Amino acid sequence: MPYRAPVSDIRFCLDHVVGFDRVAATETFAEATPETVDAILTEAGRLCEEVLAPLNREGDLHPARLENGVVRTSPGYAEGFRAIAEGGWIGMSAPEDFGGMGLPITLATAVNEMLSSACLALQLNPLMSQGQIEALEAHASAEIQELYIPKLISGEWTGTMNLTEPQAGSDVGALKTRAEPQGDGSYKVTGQKIYISWGDHDMAENVCHLVLARLPDAAEGTKGISLFMVPKRIPNEDGTPGPANDLHVVSLEHKLGLHGSPTAVMQYDGARGWLVGEPHRGMAAMFTMMNNARLGVGVQGLGVAERALQHAVAYALERRQGRSHVEDGSILEHADVRRAVLTMKSETFAARALCLDCAVALDMGRATGDAEWRARGAFLTPIAKAFGTDTGIKVAGDGIQVHGGMGFVEETGAAQFLRDVRVTAIYEGTNGIQAMDLVGRKLADGGAAAFALLDEVAEADHEGLRAASAELRTLTEWMLAQDMQDRFAGSVAYLAAFARVLGAHYHLRAAAADASRAGIARFAAGRMLPEALAEMAKARTGAEELYAISTEEIAA
């Protein structure tokens, strides 16, 4: 079915759930007026509906391919990417000094949701560039900034991030790629990187790789890692792409989904690169890009959830099967189908509100410099990433179920959503790593950020939500008293409980602003919120039970 951009739902969430007016009231983002927001959402929605959404199936049926060392993209992708670039959507939140719009991350987040719904495989490309722009703005020299950032914003060049190696996945500190100084400010980078999204393509004139590598005097582990800009083509003095660098695509991965997005194995054979940031401080620079991408990936899950929901509702309204309490009605009149669709709708709203709330906090932290806003944004980021992607997977799976046997047939399109979104729970740090980060680094402030959020929830005019928030406060205090292994053992459940409590909070805020949303809010509070209590019980069990069973017993 045709995709409908949820412009009105996004605008409602901005106005009545996450308090975007506070962002627009700052001097930094004063240009984000209601008129500007309406224009941006409307135009982005039109692009997604008319230009990008038809490409989603094309990429799945006609994957990117490697031919004679050149990556050829799916039909229509180059035109779609050019429409994204020419519309200025890549540089929405990028600095105006380099050609960006300087708009809030919140608006970029809203637009990225629609881009992800329309064609997730293609949206991955500008998402990588957006993260690279932020990393270069924060850490690169003025010379690198002036050369690369305008090109990334315009879409003339695109960006990637190169972390993973065959022996170094989540343990980035095990990487072996090396960088040798050449005495002229450049370095020769040698090594192999895997799982590089959009590592090469034919849609732009240059591909700019941010590569983690070790200098000759580097220490072991993450403290010895530096970051380098390694372009596909070495820029000439006038900024145009020059000779080919000593790097190439070894192969493209054959993936479960996202067939339109080329995921490359990259080989660097003494490729020329330039240091970004301080020597041996590469992880700090790369984390700037990764943190940007973590919220972006949560939004990707949300985007697929929205499209899978629309697809399932359209099918359920048309499909007649069996008898329900409404004579000759559609399958949407059947209790279990209605339960499934309402669950999908409830979860999609909660994920949208969570991602936008996180983005508002990031914008407020940037605009005001306030430590509490920054802490809130940091705390919400792993929750938004994990819950957004888990929601995308669950909603896409439920969408297949609503379709019944037809959902398992590729021609209906329902299966593609699940295949495409599944990886989002893995990349930019698996959701388990997000949960460990939440109970580790994000509770390192003694729980201040967590308690501040729970203070807001505790003001709700809903007994069940107040009780759940009180229990979550007690659990947070319990977490703070445990050693890290016990925290880690319950971290996934703790994150899920927090997401459940926040989701109900957002639903009740929406219902207070618009009575027509009271029904779905009651559903969320009655059906979804109780799951928080079960998750909290699991979070308290600690690590002992995990290690009471031997490795031999597990493997038996």
Output the pLDDT for position 328.
59
Whether the CA torsion 359, 104, 276, 177 is positive or negative: it is positive
DSSP of 242-309? EEEPSEEEEEE---SS-TTS-EEEEEEEEEEEEEESSTT-HHHHHHHHHHHHHHHHHHHHHHHHHHHH
How far apart are alpha carbons 63 and 54 in whole angstroms?
15
CB 247 within 8 A of CB 269: yes
- The verdict on residue 41 lying in a domain is yes
Q: What's the pLDDT tens digit per position in 497-524?
A: 999 999 999 999 999 999 999 999 999 9
pLDDT per residue as tens, the chain (556 positions) = 799 999 999 999 999 999 999 999 999 999 999 999 999 999 999 999 999 999 999 999 999 999 999 999 999 999 999 999 999 999 999 999 999 999 999 999 999 999 999 999 999 999 999 999 999 999 999 999 999 999 999 999 999 999 999 887 777 778 899 999 999 999 999 999 999 999 999 999 999 999 999 999 888 888 889 999 999 999 999 999 999 999 999 999 999 999 999 999 999 999 999 999 999 998 888 777 777 789 999 999 999 999 999 999 999 999 887 766 666 589 898 999 999 999 999 999 999 999 999 999 999 999 999 999 999 999 999 999 999 999 999 999 999 999 999 999 999 999 999 999 999 999 889 999 999 999 999 999 999 999 999 999 999 999 999 999 999 999 999 999 999 999 999 999 999 999 999 999 999 999 999 999 999 999 999 999 999 999 999 999 999 999 999 999 999 9
Take residue 477 and report the two structure tokens written for it.
């205090």
For 370, residues 6+ apart whose C-beta sits below 8 A from its C-beta are: 364
Domain boundary among 152, 185, 205: 152
Domain of residue 479, CATH code: 1.20.140.10
Nearest to 104 by CA among 355, 367, 374: 367
Take residue 537 and report the two structure tokens written for it.
């019980």
CB 309 within 8 A of CB 403: no
Pair (391, 471) in one structural domain: yes
- The verdict on residue 315 lying in a domain is yes
Pair (524, 406) in one structural domain: yes
- The verdict on residue 174 lying in a domain is yes
Pair (79, 132) in one structural domain: yes
Q: Which residue has the tokens 């501040």?
A: 452
For 390, residues 6+ apart whose C-beta sits below 8 A from its C-beta are: 301, 425, 431, 496
- The verdict on residue 188 lying in a domain is yes
Q: Structurally, how many domains does the chain consist of?
A: 3
How far apart are alpha carbons 358 and 335 in whole angstroms?
34
Domain boundary among 112, 131, 152: 152
Domain boundary among 122, 152, 182: 152
C-alpha distances (whole Å) from 317 to each of 290, 417, 431, 550 are: 40, 19, 34, 51
Output the pLDDT for position 222.
81
Q: Which residue has the tokens 């460990």?
A: 436
Q: Given 58, 134, 428, 535, which residue is catalytic?
A: 428
Domain of residue 195, CATH code: 2.40.110.20
Phi, then psi, of 12 in degrees rounded to 5: -60, -45
C-alpha distances (whole Å) from 418 to each of 114, 127, 301, 422, 424 are: 17, 20, 10, 6, 10
Take residue 170 and report the two structure tokens written for it.
């989540």
How far apart are alpha carbons 90 and 170 in whole angstroms?
28
- The verdict on residue 556 lying in a domain is no
Output the pLDDT for position 319.
85
DSSP of 310-327? HHHHHHHHH---S--SST
Phi, then psi, of 522 in degrees rounded to 5: -65, -40
How far apart are alpha carbons 424 and 335 in whole angstroms?
31
Output the pLDDT for position 191.
96
274 class by beta-carbon count within 10 Å (0-12 exposed, 13-18 middle, 19+ buried): buried
Pair (425, 493) in one structural domain: yes
Pair (248, 333) in one structural domain: no
Nearest to 384 by CA among 510, 442, 297: 297
Asked whether the whole model's pTM tops 0.85, one would answer yes
CB 524 within 8 A of CB 346: yes
Coil/strand/helix, residue 207: strand
Pair (494, 464) in one structural domain: yes
Pair (293, 253) in one structural domain: no
Pair (102, 162) in one structural domain: no
CB 44 within 8 A of CB 6: no
Q: What's the pLDDT tens digit per position in 101-112?
A: 999 999 999 999
Output the pLDDT for position 324.
61
- The verdict on residue 518 lying in a domain is yes
Q: Which range marks the domain in which residue 501 is found?
A: 285-547
Coil/strand/helix, residue 100: coil
Pair (306, 428) in one structural domain: yes
Domain of residue 66, CATH code: 1.10.540.10
Pair (312, 216) in one structural domain: no
CB 17 within 8 A of CB 510: yes
- The verdict on residue 346 lying in a domain is yes
Q: Would residue 428 show up in a list of annotated catalytic residues for this protein? A: yes
Pair (194, 138) in one structural domain: no
How far apart are alpha carbons 190 and 172 in whole angstroms?
16
- The verdict on residue 345 lying in a domain is yes
Q: Pairing mode, if any, of strands 225-231 and 206-214?
A: antiparallel
CB 434 within 8 A of CB 301: no
| Region of 215 on the Ramachandran plot (φ > 0 left; ψ -120 to 50 alpha; else beta) | beta
Distinct helix (H) and strand (E) counts, the chain: 20, 11
- The helix, strand and coil proportions of the chain, stated in percent and rounded to the nearest 5, come to 60, 15, 25
How far apart are alpha carbons 424 and 123 in whole angstroms?
13
Side chain identity at residue 457, one-letter code: V
Output the pLDDT for position 290.
73
Pair (207, 87) in one structural domain: no
